[in-house]
Each structure stands twice: as C-alpha cells, then as structure tokens.
Chain A
C-alpha cells in the first residue's frame, strides 16, 4: 500500500464520521431538501470529469469524458437550484399567530 492510498483512506474514514455526525438531528420535514442538497454535493464528481476531459487522448476517452462532464454539471447545477426552490417555500411569514 502506498502512502498516497493510506492518506486517501484516512480522509475517507474521517469523512464517514463527519457525514454521519452532521445530519444526526435532522427533523422529518427537512428530509427531502437535505436529500436534494446532498444530491447536489455528489456532483463534485464534476471535478473528476474535468480532470479526465482535460487530459483525454483517444476519441473514446474524449467521448466518455464529455458525457461525464455534461452529466455531472446537470447534477451540480440542477441539484442546487432545485434544493433552493424547495427551501424557498420554507420562508417564515410575518403573519404567524403564535398565541392560542
């Protein structure tokens, strides 16, 4: 095992714990927006698609990388916008009767 791989595994394991820790107290009504928001975040795969597309040699590689860039961009852009539209609905309104 190389040092690079060990470093990657270290980062991975720590990220697992953080991922679990940061959402452990989410209320039910936020389940859908949270799913949608994290859905946008795995669009980070775009970074990988860019690296492949920018260094591709063969035509097949270029074709695969191009589709990957398109897909990942849809994931990122669509994901964040849809999440924002959902959360926009949760804005608090001033006309809130607090007393019974």
Chain B
C-alpha cells in the first residue's frame, strides 16, 4: 500500500514545531488554577496535530496496525478514564504512566530487532539512546505497575524491605549496565531481551520498599522517567516531536518531584532509599509505647453539641473522607454550623489523601468555597485558637510524633498541629494505624476523642444531631 498523501519531512517537522509550541503553552497554563483546564486541552490539541501529521509520513507504508492499535487503546483509555472513581485517580495516573514507559521500551526493542540482525549496522549515534530508552522505559513500566498495585491495595501499601536490599538493587543495576554494553557491542538480541527483563525486575525492586506518603513522589519520578524514555526514543527515530515532548515531561517532572518532596520535607534520595515507615527499632519502640495508652470515645450527639456551640472549627480531611465519599455531607455540616455563626475552615495538608491536591479536588467537587481552604502554613497558627478540630479520615499528616519524636519514621515531615486545638474529634473506622502503618499519638491525647464509624455515616449523624441541637 502506498501512502495516502505523503508529506515531505520538512512539512511534517513544521507541524511538529506547531505541536511543540502548543504543548509548552499547555503545560504553562496547567500550572495556574484559572487556566489549567484550557491548558490541558491546548496540550491535547498539540498532541492531536503531531499524531495526525505523523500519519502522512512517507515512512509509513501500512496503516492497519496503527489504526487497530489506536482504536483498541482509545477504547481502553476512554473507558478507564471515565469509570475510575475520584479516589482511585492516583493509581490510574500510575497505570497510564506505566504503559507510556512500556511503549518507549517496545519501540527500542523493535528498532533493535530491525537494525541489529546483521552485526555492525547499529550506528554509534543511536545505540546509546536505544538502550537507554529500553532500560528506563521498562523500569518505569514495572515500577508504575507496582505503584498501582500498592495504591489499589492489591499489594501491601507499606514498604516491603529485607536485609541487603540496597546491595541487591545496586548489583542488579550494575548488571543492567553490563547487559547494555554487551547488547550495544555484540548486537545480539539475547542481551537486549535480558536487559529488558532485568530492567522490569529492577523497576519492581525499586518501588517495593517505598510506601506510605511517599507514593505520589515516586509516581511523579516515574513520570519523569517515562518522559526521558520517550525523549530517547526520539533520538533513536530522529524525531523532534518525541524529543521535545519527552524532554519537557522529563525536566518538568523532575522539578515537580523535587517540589513534592520538599512539601513533605523529604529528599528524593530519602524517598527512594529511606524506606518510609520502616525504621525497625524506632517503629517497634513507638508501637510498644502506645500499648499502655488509652483513648476516649465520644458519641455523635456529644460531638454535635460541641460543634454547634463552638466559635472556631477546623475540618481536617484525609483519605478516609475520600474513600467514604463524605465530602458532600461535610459541606452540609459546615453549612449548618456557619448558619449558627460558627467559623468553619478546612486545613489542607499538602499530601493529605494519596496525592498532593487530592483533598482540594474532592472538596471542590462538593462545592466548598475556595477561601475556606487553608494551606498547612496558613492554618497551623490558628489551631491554638480553635475550639474543635474535626479530623475526618486523616491520620499520618496529624501525627505529633512527626514533630516531637525523633525516633518516629515520620519525624521531620511537616504536620498539621491539630493536637494544639482545645478539642480534637477524630472520625475513624477503628484504631488501626494509617497508610504508613504507624500508630498516631494524637488519638491518645487528653483533648482527643474518637468517633468511630464510616466517615460518611458519622458526618451524616452529626448533620442530623446539629439540626436537632
């Protein structure tokens, strides 16, 4: 089959330039709230232009593989993006990221297979990029799948660690570099296959020991990896659209990863190799020390009275609120309290939920007005003047051990100083520890009380009780 309408390489490269400009403008608009949504669509249009004009590339002589593949991918993409629940967004992003990395690795493998059969055909210019794309793409693919498994709770969310883990990883990585050299110098397919399999294994081992609040940072890092893998696939194919698109994500994704880590007071090295929540000695000691502590339980009616006659209430939402879909009930409760003259604010920790901004998204969905949402730094000075702090399904981000106990694996992470409020009511299903697997000293404080139950039904009970109060 001959091309329908072959465009010259120059013409196609010109459309790539237009696409690149749209991608850049899109990302820029994505980083500011009022323009974010249009930015996403501008980037999508840029992408559409690049894809459409690639169809007219004279190198493409057969269309059916592409058309069928895109149809299948579109159906899967649309269905999963439409059906996914808001609470499951983070793992969805991980999955989309993983397949992107997988695609980059497959491109490298296919190119290697096409060029390599006769030795001496690999050009020195592209072989490095080919191996890099295979390596990083595979790591991103399997690492993202593990991240998905952890967030979906198919795999345990806590860090999985064993003795000598970092040594094993270091040896494996050195082995991968060796395989890369072998594949590049001998041009034998077997080394490429081993490189791909080894990189898949390395991706799994890299993400397994990471857990807790570090997951978003890891997904962001893998996102940057996939960007770099795409860029190096661009070097292999001498395609500027791929180089620009991939590099933009590689660079901005790396910076975003650093920014996220900074919001949690953790360096990237610490995230990757620090095994959040592992700290064996300190963790065990902390767990043991809570044995003798006791907590206080409170009823919805008592809590409602406390809230109704308070002057200042701060709501601290967390992942539990997201799981229970309690955001609308919370909005209703806040409305009732405001009608009684109570000042209601929301304290948003940068990593509350499973991803930065997770709580903003959910509360915005429930139409909570922006001005009531306060960042950590703005709300923390308010807690000593707060009558009731209502902690709804948040855990690790309120743990005072992060501030006070150098033994705690959480130590150093900035937290919401909820324990400084006059009264703290914690809505929670049970006393089980949070995502990071660490007991929370807040629950045992003298000013703390537990209201057990599903977050949504508890808040609905509070709504009914406040109406009656």
Please classify the interface of chain B as helix (H, G, I), strand (E, B), loop, or mixed, using the class held by over half of its residues: helix
List the B side residues contacting A95 at CB < 8 Å. 367, 369
Please give the number of chain B residues whose Cβ is less than 8 angstroms from any Cβ of chain A in the complex: 115
Q: Among B174-182, B237-245, B318-326, B436-444, which stretch is in contact with chain A? A: B237-245
Closest partner residue, chain A, to B144 (CB atom): A39
Interface residues in A39-58 by Cβ distance below 8 A to B read 39-58
Contact B81 A20 (CB under 8 A): no
Contact B364 A47 (CB under 8 A): no
Contact B242 A47 (CB under 8 A): yes
Nearest Cβ on chain A to B331's Cβ, whole angstroms: 11
Given contacts A39-B100, A84-B37, A85-B86, 5 further A-B contacts (CB under 8 A): A18-B248, A26-B259, A28-B375, A29-B357, A42-B246
Q: Among B61-69, B158-166, B275-283, B452-460, which stretch is in contact with chain A? A: B61-69
Known interface pairs A22-B31, A44-B246, A47-B239; A33-B370 also in contact (CB < 8 Å) = no
Q: How long is the Cα–Cα vector from A78 to B93 in the complex, in angstroms? A: 9
B360 at interface by CB-CB < 8 Å: yes
List the B side residues contacting A40 at CB < 8 Å. 40, 43-44, 47, 96
Closest partner residue, chain B, to A81 (CB atom): B81
Which residues of B are at the interface with A, using a C-beta cutoff of 8 A? 23-24, 26-28, 30-33, 36-37, 39-41, 43-44, 47, 50-51, 54-55, 57, 59-63, 65-66, 68-70, 72-74, 76-78, 80-82, 84, 86, 89-90, 92-93, 95-97, 99-100, 102-104, 106-107, 109-111, 113-114, 125, 216, 219-220, 223, 226-227, 229-231, 233-256, 259-260, 263, 348, 350, 355-358, 360-362, 364-365, 367, 369-371, 375
Residue of B33, B96, B244 near A90 (CB, 8 A) is: B33
Known interface pairs A32-B356, A70-B73; A90-B259 also in contact (CB < 8 Å) = no
Contact A87 B36 (CB under 8 A): yes
Q: How long is the Cα–Cα vector from A6 to B31 in the complex, in angstroms? A: 31
Closest partner residue, chain A, to B31 (CB atom): A26
Contact B93 A82 (CB under 8 A): yes
List the A side residues contacting B248 at CB < 8 Å. 15, 18-19, 22, 38, 41
How would residues 16 to 38 of chain A score, 1 for a CB under 8 Å from any chain B CB and 0 otherwise?
A: 11111011111111111111111
Known interface pairs A30-B357, A37-B40, A71-B73; A54-B93 also in contact (CB < 8 Å) = no
Q: How long is the Cα–Cα vector from A64 to B86 in the complex, in angstroms? A: 33
Contact B356 A28 (CB under 8 A): yes
Contact B36 A33 (CB under 8 A): yes
Closest partner residue, chain B, to A69 (CB atom): B69
Q: How long is the Cα–Cα vector from A41 to B97 in the complex, in angstroms? A: 10
What 10 pairs between A and B have smallest CB-CB spacing?
A73-B73, A19-B251, A54-B60, A69-B69, A77-B77, A44-B245, A78-B77, A81-B81, A15-B247, A31-B356
Contact A49 B251 (CB under 8 A): no
Contact A71 B37 (CB under 8 A): no
Contact A38 B255 (CB under 8 A): no
List the A side residues contacting B250 at CB < 8 Å. 16, 19, 42
Nearest Cβ on chain B to A42's Cβ, whole angstroms: 4
Contact B244 A74 (CB under 8 A): no
Residue of B61, B81, B90 near A78 (CB, 8 A) is: B81
Contact B43 A37 (CB under 8 A): yes
List the A side residues contacting B72 at CB < 8 Å. 70, 73
Contacts A/B (CB < 8 Å), 13 sampled: A2-B125, A19-B249, A28-B357, A38-B227, A41-B43, A41-B249, A44-B47, A47-B245, A54-B60, A83-B40, A90-B33, A90-B360, A92-B370
Q: How long is the Cα–Cα vector from A26 to B36 in the complex, in angstroms? A: 11
Nearest Cβ on chain B to A62's Cβ, whole angstroms: 6
Closest partner residue, chain B, to A17 (CB atom): B251
Nearest Cβ on chain B to A9's Cβ, whole angstroms: 8
Contact B367 A82 (CB under 8 A): no
